[in-house]
Amino acid sequence: MRRFGTFVLSFTLAAVLIYVCSRGTDPVAVVNSLSQAHPGYVALAIVVGLLSFTGRALRWRSLLSHLKRDIPFGSLLSCTIMGFMLSYVVFFIPKVGELARPILLARRERMSKGSVIATVAVARMMDFLTVLLFFSIYLIGFSSRLPQEDPESWMVQFRKHGIFLGGAILLAVLALYATVLSRNRIFMILEARTRGGSLGRKVVDFLHSMVRGFEVLKSWRALVVGMLYTLFTWSLIDLSILAGLKAFEIHMDFVDVFLLIAFLAAGIAVPTPAGLGSYQASGLVCLVTFFGLPREEALAAVWVQWCVAVIPVVLVGAVLIWKEGLSMGQLGRMLQSERETSA
């Protein structure tokens, strides 16, 4: 019953957000923009988007190297795609993709599920930090490229303060990675200097819980290799989005997409069906408010980008699950069993 309520609430939120995005737009103009999209660029966006999963699979192999070497790349790639597919389709179960990927891989390779799940948590943290890194780089070095008309407008203030905000985010990301590399020594010192039960100790415990997942990495080399694969993955995602924008002759470049990625990543993280509604709303806000695109053109571009990011993954993931000889019911029971065991 609880899942049904979550299901209904998610679809309701998606419907509301789609309505908000569509309100005030000319539907004919949106359809015209969609009809004029260059199919070659759309196809390129799909191909590059799917290729980004190779970066995720390579990163996962590097994170798993201390558990088992020579894991077949095909297993890593297929389990990654199936996990994302399930997170899009079975959105009403929290963290379903993060659980499905390691469970499927552990089942294939006869590995410890708990250890594999830990590596997925690290990968997700790396994704989050990379999006923040891209966002901070844009704010620091490229926010001056944003269009402005009135010198007294809020955009000027955003550009002015964006450098400081970007610098703060960049320092926070670098500080977290430095903490990860020296986590044991740092937290021994911090815990020795704070009193049990005090506010300071609670802050220390919270920070420790954030970086504890990185303990699956046994060396700084594993962290660096994993981060390089993460940068490679998100660079491909950037290129996929850029190809989708080029389909509409939207004049943005590789670095401009750094800002858009932050909005789209936030949108697809909302627990609606594959980020439906929230993805369109966040992308629309970015393209219209920051880059000054016409609302109809921006809405058409964001809808195409959502289709590029979600539909191919769902279709490929469904085929892979069928080839695995599993049904959605079997997967659901496997995930439920693992959740109960973890609890």
**212 pLDDT above the threshold of 70:** no
Q: Residue-wise over 324-343: b if at least 16 C-beta within 10 A, else e? A: beeeeeebeebbeebeeeee
Q: Residue-wise over 221-248: b if at least 16 C-beta within 10 A, else e? A: ebbebbbebbbbbbbbbbbbbbbbbbbb
How many structural domains does the chain have? Answer: 1
**19 pLDDT above the threshold of 70:** yes
- Which among 208, 228, 214 has a CA at the least distance from the CA of 66? 214
**116 pLDDT above the threshold of 60:** yes
**85 near 314, Cβ under 8 Å?**
yes
C-alpha to C-alpha distances, 216 to 79, 207, 223, 312, 327, nearest whole angstrom: 20, 17, 10, 32, 31
Mean predicted confidence (pLDDT) in 120-132: 86
pLDDT at 283: 95
Under the banding of pLDDT at 50, 70 and 90, the label for residue 327 is low
Q: What is the pLDDT of residues 236-288, one digit of tens each?
A: 999 999 999 999 999 899 999 999 999 999 999 888 888 899 999 999 999 99
**37 near 300, Cβ under 8 Å?**
yes
Mean predicted confidence (pLDDT) in 153-182: 69
When comparing pLDDT for 14 and 197, which is higher? 14
When comparing pLDDT for 189 and 152, which is higher? 189
**154 pLDDT above the threshold of 60:** no
* % of the chain residues with pLDDT over 70: 84
pLDDT at 52: 96
pLDDT at 210: 62
Least confident residue range of 5-9, 18-22, 98-102? 5-9
pLDDT at 2: 64
Mean predicted confidence (pLDDT) in 9-15: 88
pLDDT at 132: 86
**Which backbone phi and psi does 115 adopt, to 5 degrees?**
-65, -40
Location of structure tokens 């980008």:
305
When comparing pLDDT for 124 and 5, which is higher? 124
Max mean pLDDT among 149-153, 172-176, 203-207, 262-266 falls in: 262-266
Tokens of 263: 């909005």
Under the banding of pLDDT at 50, 70 and 90, the label for residue 76 is very high
pLDDT at 38: 94
Under the banding of pLDDT at 50, 70 and 90, the label for residue 87 is confident
**45 near 305, Cβ under 8 Å?**
yes
Q: What is the pLDDT of residues 220-245, one digit of tens each?
A: 777 788 889 999 999 999 999 999 99
**pTM for this one?**
0.85
When comparing pLDDT for 210 and 273, which is higher? 273
Distance of CA 94 to the CA centre of its chain: 15
pLDDT at 65: 82
Mean predicted confidence (pLDDT) in 11-40: 90
Mean predicted confidence (pLDDT) in 27-31: 90
When comparing pLDDT for 84 and 220, which is higher? 84
Please give the Cα distance from 68 to 61 (Å, whole number).
Answer: 9
Mean predicted confidence (pLDDT) in 68-83: 90
pLDDT at 157: 61
Range of the domain at 142: 2-342
**296 pLDDT above the threshold of 80:** yes
**321 pLDDT above the threshold of 60:** yes
